[in-house]
Structure 1
Amino acid sequence: MSGFANAVYYPQWRVYKGFAPSDLNLSQASHVLYAFVGVNEDGTLRPLDDWADNSIEVDGEEGCLAALAKLKHTHPHLRTLLSVGGASASAEFPALAADPEARETFARACRAFVDEHEMDGIDIDWEHPKDPTEGHDFLHLLYTLRTQLPGPQYLITTALPPGAWVLRNINLAQAAAYLDYLNLMAYDLTGPWTDVAGHQAQLFPPGGDDGSDYPATCRADCNSGVDYCLSNGFPPNKILLGIPAYARYFPGAAGPGHPFEGAGEMDYCDFPDEWVSNAQVDHHAAAAWCSDPEKGFVSFDSPASVRQKARYVRDRGLGGLMYWTGASDRPGPESLVSAGFLGLYEHGEEE
């Protein structure tokens, strides 16, 4: 497979729900990012779930890492990466990145790990450098990692949110010299932490124009993150636009801008069928949604909204799409990974 990336994350904990690496949509995915392994402040790696990684019986192998390596023999187009960190395992990154010796230890440990498990590279999921000092150290970490993982044989990617309040801490033009892709986490714009409900992964403000009819919470958009990256020297073909394979729901809310009581989330594979079949798409925002008697306003991506985002990727010359997670997708015509793949490679008419 060449051209656009269509990258999926595989969290090892999904094996406990009966979802094996072989259950991913491998024919339409280009990269699998294995999530997660943790890191210590001295740069050594630490398992977050050693049983799932190396021992559980899955796909005829011992552990998900061996199962993933096995898949590369039957899907030679596939490139696999180890994702280090994650939202609950990023606390060690600031001290690690600030220490030259720890950075060297980390880079060597990553090289040994990917070689042992027949992987193609590393994804840094430090969520996230919180000030310019940490952003500076982040660049040193990427540079040191690249010395041990030379391209194009090895890949280095990172996952970052689309907000300028994070991206401004990093010299993006310099980061691009070390990175193959920036996985832009183009979701979680709204949730339990916001004051009103809104689309969680919209490309543009709702309703067209600047969305000024809606509260500021509802006007945050992912296109602004793409614009920020491009205007600060990050190449478009290295940006992957993130797709959430889960919903955020807002009980008591009927739409964007409405108050709610107790928001939650649900994986796309666990949706009631009617959420998908009855999904509406705000084509101004590139966002899908539905109303549920119990869950209220439900914000997610549907195949139609993903195809619209894929066209956006083509139009802007971006590198492709990524999905958190490929293990939360639905099969068949409701697959988001499939919708993205077809949208990237088939020049259909706007729906």
Structure 2
Amino acid sequence: MGGSSDGEQEHHQQPPTAERPPVDASNGYQTRPHPVSRGYMNGVYYPSWLVYKDKTPATLDVANITHIFYAFVGVNEDGSLRWIDEHADLVKDVDGEKGALHALAKLKRQNPHLKTIVSIGGGADSKQFCTLAASHNGRQTLAKQVRHLCDRYKLDGVDIDWEHPKNTAEGHDYVKLLQECRNVLPENTYLLTTALPVGQYILKHIDLRAVSRLVDYINLMAYDFTGSWTSVCGNQAQLHSPRGGLQSSYPELGVCATDGVEYILSKGFPSRKLVFGVPAYARYFPVAEGPGCSTEGAGEMDYYEMPDEWVDNAVVEETSVAAWYVDANSGKGYITFDVPKTVHMKAKYVVHKNLGGLFYWTGTGDKPGRLSLVAAGKRGLDE
């Protein structure tokens, strides 16, 4: 759903014929808005394919985490679920269990405060949503199977990560899909969340007031504002839009998280159901010496892979709430990423706006100790 790990997923994908999670026939629950907890979320996405890099669920910083989103389980056009990597999910030895899903269940048993949620779709496996969501049978099939998946693997709920409904018809089907999921996932027992970008070009297709009556949280993906797809490089996850000559020449560099937050809240969406996303990865631009330069050769790297020196010596733009560093010696050039200070500032913004908390793509991308982004966010939310 963003971050450097989406591409890695392809290395371990199973064919569509991999074993499907079985179907549960239960249905027919009443729909009511879920009461939102007074506590803040400080959640992380856990990409299952990182078990191949020894980044298992047990390596997550559970002391600073409230929710874990297991990414991803795939979908077929008929609404049935499929394993994207059955070996990682169910077979590989992970934390003394068979598969990452059982390892996640073990982690939850050991840390009962955790909420575990399975994320369906993701950036590399969303194209099937438009077909399945347009079908009553497809929506019902998906809802029944995610309910069974939650019950079988002791998960607390489901995250619908359709990237993204691209027109009014798909936006309407998206809401109907959420409704079907809520019907079989009663709000007093299960969480229902969804991930959306900050861009109004997507959000305008969705009835956000209707979504608010169905979900516990929207996870707002407040990152990926710049990359190989933009004409020049800039801050990839800025809170506010910088003002200056660069933004006048390249309006795309003015894209910021607060625009998405304000738009969603303006549609009557409850602030405490909106969770703010933080990237635990960097984007780099090898031929750039700062914002506004060429995106040629753009790439990504996890935050934990970066030298501590880059973090300690990063330029922190307090007005936009963003950080960057230039390192010609590494071949990475201009690097845009979050640091503990910017995450702490974003946490204070969350508190100020009475939002639901923070989430990180990904928990495994974080650094330990004093440079931890997850810990910095938790401190900011708790203060």
Which amino acid in 1 is paired with 2:296?
A: E
Matched, 1:282 2:305: no
Matched, 1:268 2:303: yes
In 2: Cα distance, 1:50 partner to 1:326 partner = 21
What residue in structure 2 maps to residue 349 of structure 1?
none
TM-score by length of 1: 0.96
CA contact (8 A) 2:230 2:295 kept: no
Percent of aligned positions that are identical: 52
> Which string of whole-angstrom CA distances, capped at 9 and with x for unpartnered residues, describes residues 192-243 of structure 1?
00000100000111258x9755521211111000000000111110111100
In 1: Cα distance, 2:204 partner to 2:272 partner = 20
> Which string of whole-angstrom CA distances, capped at 9 and with x for unpartnered residues, describes residues 283-314 of structure 1?
11110111110222110000010000000000
Structure 1: any 5+ residue segments left out of the alignment? 347-351
Which amino acid in 2 is paired with 1:251?
A: P
In 1: Cα distance, 2:246 partner to 2:352 partner = 22
2:205 to 169, 174, 178: 169
> Which string of whole-angstrom CA distances, capped at 9 and with x for unpartnered residues, describes residues 86-109 of structure 1?
111001101110100111111110
Task: Count residues with an aligned counterpart.
Answer: 345
Matched, 1:180 2:202: no
Matched, 1:108 2:144: yes
What residue in structure 2 maps to residue 197 of structure 1?
233
What residue in structure 2 maps to residue 235 of structure 1?
270
Matched, 1:122 2:175: no
In 2: Cα distance, 1:50 partner to 1:258 partner = 42
> Judging changes above 3 Å, is the alpha-carbon distance between structure 1 residues 197 and 105 closer, same or farther for their aligned structure 2 residues?
same
Q: CA deviation at 1:276?
A: 1.2
Structure 2: any 5+ residue segments left out of the alignment? 1-36
Matches within 5 A, 1:184-333: 184-207=220-243, 212-213=247-248, 215-293=250-328, 294-333=331-370
> Which string of whole-angstrom CA distances, capped at 9 and with x for unpartnered residues, describes residues 315-341 of structure 1?
000000000000111111111100000
Matched, 1:68 2:100: no
What is the Cα-based RMSD across aligned positions, in Å? 1.4
> Which string of whole-angstrom CA distances, capped at 9 and with x for unpartnered residues, describes residues 147-187 of structure 1?
00010210010111100000001000100111100000000
Matched, 1:93 2:129: yes
> Judging changes above 3 Å, is the alpha-carbon distance between structure 1 residues 219 and 54 closer, same or farther for their aligned structure 2 residues?
same
Which amino acid in 2 is paired with 1:344?
A: L
What residue in structure 2 maps to residue 42 of structure 1?
78
In 1: Cα distance, 2:249 partner to 2:285 partner = 16
TM-score by length of 2: 0.88
Q: Which runs of 4+ in 1 moved over 6 A?
A: none
